[in-house]
Amino acid sequence: MPPAIASSAVRLLVERLVDFRDADWRFEESIGRLLRFAIVTRIFRRPASRPFIISLYEAILNIGFLREDPQFWLQLAMARMDQRQWLPARTALDTAYERARSRPAYNTYMLDNQMTRFLFTSAIAGNPADLDADAIRACELMAPRLAGRGENLDIYAFRLVDPLLQFADAFRSRLGDAAKGAVSATIGKAKAAIAALRSMRELDNEEERVWRQLRRR
């Protein structure tokens, strides 16, 4: 299916789900699932069609129900990061946090994970706002994800190890003492967390790759 037609079809489906969300809780639940970045990328798999992901999100941005949803802004931020649109991605992440603050019980761990990724990857791409401040905030956000939970560690924290190490290698000589200390401590926490996990069970392939990578540090 041509990406423009696919985009129109998904937009229409979302609009109908929003219209009928009060009729059945499954309609509202389906909206978030359908708009997940990981799902949308399956629809627009080819590299040439990736820009349609952002155009889809922008096309439904005027729907009030979605504009108030932190999760929607998070998906938009991820799409903008995918296209290396760093400033709009930061704006979308900041908006997601703003919407989350209006929901006292909202768990921001997904926002924190993506903000951590943004701070590392945007700096690596040459677009840091403030290297030291970015490093310290990213490490503060990442550290709780590395806290011991037995065998139930947040796997996404290990997916942040690659950008963490790339950031450390790229900017070690330019960071101040406080930022260097935060990065070093976070690498140490990641190493300790995966070592503890390894003592409890056999690591899967991705976890083993991260373990070997950290062991060399």
pLDDT value, residue 35: 93
pLDDT value, residue 137: 97
Other CB atoms within a 10 A radius of the CB of residue 47 amount to 7
Overall pTM surpassing 0.85 (yes/no): yes
pLDDT value, residue 151: 56
Divide the 217 residues of the chain into consecutive groups of 10 and give the mean pLDDT of each group: 89 91 85 92 88 93 93 96 95 97 91 96 91 96 77 76 95 95 95 87 88 88
Helix (H) and strand (E) counts in the chain: 13, 0
Other CB atoms within a 10 A radius of the CB of residue 167 amount to 23
SS3 149: strand
Look at the chain and count its residues.
217
Cα distances (angstroms) measured from residue 214 to each of 124, 134, 145, 157, 210: 19, 22, 16, 13, 6
Beta strands (DSSP E) in the chain are: none
CATH topology of domain 1-106: 1.25.40
* Each residue's pLDDT tens digit, 82-121: 999 999 999 999 999 999 999 988 999 999 999 999 999 9
pLDDT value, residue 150: 55
Distance CA 39, CA 6 (A): 13
pLDDT value, residue 77: 97
Phi (first) and psi of residue 21, to 5 degrees = -65, -25
Alpha carbon of residue 92 to chain centroid: 12
Enumerate the H helices of 35-85 as residue ranges. Answer: 37-43, 51-59, 64-67, 70-82
Amino acid identity for residue 211 in this structure: W
The answer to whether the Cα torsion of 166, 172, 178, 179 is positive or negative is negative
- Parse the chain into domains and list their residue ranges: 1-106, 108-217
